[in-house]
Amino acid sequence: MFYIKKVDFKHVKIMFNWRNNIINRKCMINNKKFSYSEHKIWFNKNIFKKTNFYFVLYWKRRIVGFGNIVNIDRNLKLAEWGLYKSPHSNINLYSGIALYLTCLIIAFERFGLKQLQGIFVEHNHKIRKLHKFFGVKIKKNINKGYNNLPTCSTVISHSLWKKIKSKYWNNFPGNLNKNLKTSFKNI
């Protein structure tokens, strides 16, 4: 069963290892390798910031991904988001879809956002495929991102979320998401 928890200090080491893993780094905007002390500074600065929300997605007690809703503007009802799956073999076939949908449901249902913006490196074909699967438009950015990498951006509106929710979240296999839906109440 899927379920989520807020990121806390017990996740600092695994998050460090995943962020530094070559598979994940290839798909990150900032793809440089960093030290554990640099990671701890980043972790303390970002994880507990009032305008950020970081969570862990579990499948049967194993962490399968991290997601985040950041730079939450409660007045304009906007935020940015990101996610990354385990760099290890797929633990569950649905983990990428569950992680993606979990970010969206937290953004639009829990925080009541009207728009969610994202950016990803152009060569990240897995996230591009997920965005296309859910009908999200992808725009190639003119300016290159960090480390001069070409990037793409996405915008998911509340109205698009309603379509995604109706078509996918409400029909997500119940035996996979029963605990996931219940765990939203505990975060």
180 found inside a domain: no
62 found inside a domain: yes
Tens-digit pLDDT profile for residues 11-58: 999 999 988 888 888 888 888 888 999 999 999 999 999 999 999 999
Edge-first strand listing for the sheet containing 138-140: 2-6, 53-59, 62-73, 78-85, 115-121, 151-157, 138-140
Tens-digit pLDDT profile for residues 117-141: 999 989 888 899 999 999 999 999 8
Section 50-72 average pLDDT: 93
Q: What is the extent of the structural domain holding 14?
A: 2-173
The CA distance from 179 to 136, in Å, is 27
Kindly state the tokens that stand for 176: 């996979």
Residue 25 phi/psi, 5° resolution?
Answer: -60, -35
140 found inside a domain: yes
Kindly calculate the radius of gyration of the chain based on its CA atoms and give it in whole angstroms: 16
Positive or negative torsion for Cα 31, 34, 39, 42: negative
124 found inside a domain: yes
122 found inside a domain: yes
Other beta carbons within 10 angstroms of residue 139's beta carbon come to 11
184 found inside a domain: no
The number of domains in the chain is 1
95 found inside a domain: yes
The CA distance from 43 to 108, in Å, is 25
Q: For position 62, which CATH number holds? A: 3.40.630.30
Kindly state the tokens that stand for 78: 């906007």
Tens-digit pLDDT profile for residues 102-120: 999 999 999 999 999 999 9
